[in-house]
Structure 1
Amino acid sequence: MNDMTQPDAHQIVHPQLSTESFSNPTSLDEDEEEELTEVPIVPTDLDTSSQTVRVTRPVPPIDFVLQRPLTTEKELLDIAFRPAALNTRVTCRIHRCRDGLDKLYPQYHLFIEHLETGEIHHVMTARKKRKSNTSYYTITGIYRENQSVPEGYVELGKVRSNFLGTTFVIYSHGKSPLKREIATKKDLPIREELGAVLYDPNILGFKGPRKMTILMHTLTRDGKRPEYRPAKESEMLLSKYRDGGARDLLVLHNKSPQWNEETQSFVLNFNGRVTQASVKNFQIVHDNDLDYIVMQFGRVERDSFTMDYKYPMCLLQAFSIALTSFDAKLACE
Structure 2
Amino acid sequence: MSFRSLIQEMRDEFGSISRHNLRSRSHRAGGGHAPRVAAVGPVEAAAAQQQQQQSCWAQLPPELLREVLVRIEESEGWWPSRRDVVACAGVCRSWRGITKEIVHVPEASGKLTFPISLKQPGPRDGTLKCFIRRNRATQTYYLYLGLTEALADDGKFLLAARKCRKPTCTDYLISLDMSDMSKGSNTYIGKLRSNFLGTKFTVYDAHPPYDGAVVSKSRSARVIGLNQVSPRVPAGNYPVSHISYELNVLGARGPRRMNCIMDSIPASAVEEGGKAPTQTEFPLSGLDSFPSISFFRSKSARIDSATSQISAQKEEKLVLRNKSPRWHEQLQCWCLNFRGRVTVASVKNFQLVASDENGPTNQEQDKVILQFGKIGKDLFTMDYRYPISAFQSFAICLSSFDTKIACE
Which category describes the TM-score, using the shorter chain as reference length?
0.5 to 0.7
Alignment of 1:250-261 (within 5 A): 250-261=318-329
Measure how far apart 1:182 and its partner are.
3.1
Gaps spanning 5+ residues in structure 1: where?
1-63, 145-151, 228-244
Matched, 1:297 2:372: yes
Spell out, residue by residue over 1:124-166, the C-alpha distance to the aligned partner (whole angstroms, 9 max, x if none).
110001445311100001499xxxxxxx971111000111111
- For 2:314 and 2:195, the matched residues in 1 are separated by 21
- For 2:187 and 2:217, the matched residues in 1 are separated by 24
User: What is the percentage of aligned positions where both structures have the same residue?
Assistant: 36
Tell me the residue number matched to 1:223: 275
Matched, 1:194 2:269: no
Q: Which has the higher contact order (CA 8 A, sep 6+)?
A: 1
Aligned length: 241
Tell me the residue number matched to 2:395: 320
> Residue 138 of structure 1: which of 145, 149, 173 is its match?
173
Spell out, residue by residue over 1:244-291, the C-alpha distance to the aligned partner (whole angstroms, 9 max, x if none).
x99610011000011112222111111110000100000001133463
Tell me the residue number matched to 1:108: 141
Checking the alignment, whether the CA contact within 8 Å between 2:131 and 2:379 is kept in structure 1 is yes
Q: CA RMSD in A?
A: 3.2
Question: Between Structure 1 and Structure 2, which shows a larger proportion of helix residues?
Answer: 2
SS at 2:398 equivalent: helix
SS at 1:276 equivalent: coil
**Residue type of the partner of 2:157?**
H
Checking the alignment, whether the CA contact within 8 Å between 2:119 and 2:278 is kept in structure 1 is no
Tell me the residue number matched to 1:11: none
Alpha carbons of structure 1 residues 163 and 179: separation in structure 2 relative to 1, 3 Å:
farther
**Residue type of the partner of 1:170?**
V
Gaps spanning 5+ residues in structure 2: where?
1-76, 91-99, 101-112, 180-184, 209-214, 224-228, 280-312
Alpha carbons of structure 1 residues 261 and 133: separation in structure 2 relative to 1, 3 Å:
same
- For 1:185 and 1:316, the matched residues in 2 are separated by 26
- For 2:261 and 2:243, the matched residues in 1 are separated by 6
Checking the alignment, whether the CA contact within 8 Å between 1:76 and 1:141 is kept in structure 2 is no
Measure how far apart 1:89 and its partner are.
0.8
Question: Between Structure 1 and Structure 2, which shows a larger proportion of strand residues?
Answer: 1
Measure how far apart 1:111 and its partner are.
0.3
Alpha carbons of structure 1 residues 153 and 143: separation in structure 2 relative to 1, 3 Å:
farther
- For 1:255 and 1:262, the matched residues in 2 are separated by 21
Matched, 1:270 2:338: yes
- The structure with more radius of gyration: 2
Tell me the residue number matched to 2:60: none
Compute the TM-score of the two structures, normalised by the length of structure 2: 0.53
**Residue type of the partner of 2:169?**
T
Compute the TM-score of the two structures, normalised by the length of structure 1: 0.64
Alpha carbons of structure 1 residues 256 and 154: separation in structure 2 relative to 1, 3 Å:
same
